[in-house]
Amino acid sequence: RVTHVIAEHNSGAEVMQCLERQVEKREEGRSPMLLHISWFTECMAAREPVKIEPRHLLEDALETLSKEASFCGSDGRSLAFIRAASVLRSLPSTLTTIEELNRLPGFGEHSKRVVQEILEDGFSAEVERVTQKEKYQTMKLFTNIFGVGMKTANRWYQEGLRSLGDLRNSQKLKLSKQQEAGLQHYEDLNMPVSRAEADLIAKMVEEVAHSFLPGTIITLAGGFRRGKLSGHDVDILITHAQEGREEGLLSKVIGQLQSQGLILYHDLKRNSYHDAFSPDSKSTSNMDHFERSFSIFRLKVASHIGDIGARDHSPESSKDWKAVRVDLVVTPISQYPYALLGWTGSKHFERELRRFSCNEKKMVLNSHALYDTVEQKILAATCEEDIFLYLGLEYMPPSDRNA
Ligand code: DCT
Ligand code: MG
């Protein structure tokens, strides 16, 4: 949280103000956050510059501009900034000079300008301007609500809504069930999910799944599979070695967890690959057709889970549970390697891999299959390694897919 605050604000004074406001909301002496604050205060008092990894500063700046571009409906520009941020992330060490920058591929002029400004002045005036914009702040706030996309956020902004309070108090606003849940659990859902919490949820799902169908294979995908220590949600793949046995399992699992009071929200979608998946489709869209549940779990918070939110003793949140976003995705074993590759991410890695498949190999890759458009056949895979082999690429372990 503290790192986040530092990244969001541009001056030390601003950071302090924001942190102090957060401290005020908490009972003195009990939140582990105070330890971070006192560390930070000491740094400031000693007049030592707070060292933020320059690499993160640069990436955050580019990501801010990418977000801003997408808020303005400029997807191409947004992607260009994401690509530049991803190039920086893939460097073995922090970029320090403009000369190094000039040698990098995939770096547009605009991104270069911003990075150059930060390297020279320590900040970018443009990024600072963007983060101060009311529209940017509002769109960021609204699109962070589970169930709220760019279009809805923009409509609300045009209607003059600016804060979560505005949404909560509005008489005429019609929220979907998903948005209602998103708004209700906004604070929890915007708190990072720790690896320990993700493991706990995967274990809960596994136990219930095994009680209905022994041998069910549960895999923690998404950022956690790439080795990240925290994430915004928990992505879980469910399959069974015997094709077809997995059908109907998800509703039983959800039903059982619900009866135990562990589900705050869920939206079960049936699979649609039999009628909707067309292997010769040119679509490189991320949307897939698996049976799935986009849900919010009510996770009992035990003291051993190392998360700030888990031990938040502020009066307004004396609850002993935390709302956590969980995506449960069911896949037949024949499609599992593709689902695993697709759901491991990162989103940018997937986008680039699909683009490579299409442009260089004339193959269409998605989370269901790889389709060879020249041979006009679907290529079956038994593991992720098979897919890399088909694409003529060396296997990349999940930890190398963080771009
Ligand atoms: N994905 C997909 N189809 C979707 C949504 C996501 O194939 N409709 C893929 C892309 C990345 C992966 O699944 C997980 O998605 P996220 O949870 O959004 O990304 P993450 O890398 O796990 O990020 P975080 O750690 O913040 O959860
Ligand atoms: Mg995730």
Q: What angle do CA 210, 213, 217 make, to 5 degrees?
A: 65
Output the pTM of the full model: 0.81
Which residue would you say has higher pLDDT here, 41 or 359?
A: 359
pLDDT of residue 310: 45
Label residues 289-328 b or e (16+ Cβ within 10 Å = b).
Answer: bbbbbbbbbbbebeeebebbbbebeeeeeeeeebbbbbbb
| pLDDT above 90 (res 105) | no
Backbone angles phi, psi at 73, to 5 degrees: 80, 15
Taking the CA of residue 231 as reference, the ligand 1 atom at the shortest distance is 25
Residue partners of 8: CB distance under 8 A and separation at least 6: 18, 131
Q: Which 8-state DSSP code applies to residue 399?
A: G
**Choice among 71-80, 83-92, 350-359 with the minimum mean pLDDT:** 83-92
Q: 3-class SS at 222?
A: helix
- ω into 346 cis (within 30 of 0): yes
ipTM associated with this complex:
0.96
Neighbours of ion ligand 2 (CB under 5 A): 222-223, 231, 233, 235
**343 Cβ inside 6 Å of ligand 1:** yes
Please give the annotated binding residues for Mg(2+), written as ranges.
233, 235, 327
Active site residues: 233, 235, 327
Q: What angle do CA 354, 100, 347 make, to 5 degrees?
A: 20
**228 Cβ inside 6 Å of ligand 1:** yes
In the predicted model, what is the mean pLDDT of residues 254-271?
A: 95
Which pair of tokens denotes residue 391?
Answer: 């694409």
Which residue would you say has higher pLDDT here, 355 or 98?
A: 355
The sheet with strand 377-379 has its strands ordered as: 363-365, 370-372, 377-379
Residue 358's nearest CA partner among 264, 285, 288 is 285
